A and B are shown apart, each in its own frame.
Chain A
Amino acid sequence: MDSIIRATVTYFFVWLIFRIAGKRSLAETTSFDFVLLLIISETVQSALNQNDNSLTNSFLIIVTLVGLDILLSVIGYRSPRFNHLMNSKAMLIVENGKPMKARMAAARIDEDDILASARETHGLESFDQIKFAILECHGGISIIPEKGHS
């Protein structure tokens, strides 16, 4: 029972921290962020196990974490409102080549981030060639090019 409570509390705590950190925190994974994630997982792991390194305890924790993830995704599927609460909403940040500055500032995204994504995904060079850019729930930037540039 203790393991299940620990795993549940940890799941929601980690969710809360990453929700507070914002969408861009996870998508822009630099090598430093990667190391940071490893450190976080190591820290969480010892709190979850609490000196009980048995196979049973590990299985219980895995089942609880994955089970919670499935449960929340099922609830999210049935209730879009709940889904938005848990996973945020996608947000339009460029419309017909015009960057929407206020939204970009709120999401801590600058024009270079959008242009970098446009270059990587479609080989675009400027905002004129971007029809829409969308900041997705997972933090990635989707680019829809203007006709003739795709």
Chain B
Amino acid sequence: MSEKKTTFDFLSDPPYQKREGLFERIGWVFMGLLVLAAALGLFGKGMLAHAELKEDTFHLYYDRFIHYGDLSTIRLEVPASTGEPGVVAVALSNSYLHNFRIEHIVPEPESSAHGDQTLFWFTTTHTGQPVSIQLRMEPEKVGRLEGKIFVNGEQGHVFHQFVYP
């Protein structure tokens, strides 16, 4: 009987099995937390991912967390009362814009580059409604990006995005 027991003794490694079991269980908890974080938007497209920059002269809605190669939208709302009537001027830092491929901008702007910024001009109608501008862009760089936005020649405001690989 005792001889039989020793035959497969080398397969009995309780400390190893215990460590492996612990590793698996920690892994399950980690996977659960990962799914929870994803559901909340830590990896984009969720509650935690949506961000706003609210200033007196504009509201900027953007995604805090975005994916490399995936389209992301930045929406800018400018109250009708601000700036020069009929025109909205938006400038974004080139150090930010150069990390993206711009898919399209709605409405279509007139644009010009000025050193370290790109300036977009939008003509607006006089309806008294806030002007809404959307930039649909695809990130081409991974990591933390810093953007700076200037609306109607006002002081620049910084916002951050994180691009997951």
Binding site for B on A (CB under 8 A): 16-17, 19-22, 50-51, 84, 88-92, 95-96, 103, 106, 131-132, 134
Contact = CB atoms under 8 A, between A and B. Distances in A.
Interface in B59-101: 69
Contacts of A103: 17
Contacts of A17: 31
Contacts of B21: 106
A92 B4 contact: no
B24 A20 contact: yes
A142 to B, nearest CB: 10
B160 to A, nearest CB: 24
Interface in B1-46: 1, 4-5, 7-8, 11-13, 16-17, 20-21, 23-24, 27-28, 30-31
Most buried by B among A17, A90, A91, A96: A91
B69 A50 contact: yes
A8 to B, nearest CB: 13
B8 A134 contact: yes
Nearest to B8: A92
A123 B2 CA distance: 27
6 tightest CB-CB pairs across the interface, nearest first?
Answer: A20-B27, A92-B11, A106-B21, A92-B8, A90-B11, A22-B24
A86 B4 CA distance: 30
Given A19-B27, A20-B23, A20-B28, A89 B4 contact: no
14 contacts: A16-B27, A17-B31, A19-B24, A20-B27, A20-B30, A50-B69, A89-B11, A90-B11, A91-B11, A91-B13, A96-B1, A106-B17, A131-B4, A132-B8
B24 A132 contact: no
B27 A95 contact: no
Contacts of A95: 5, 8
Contacts of B1: 96
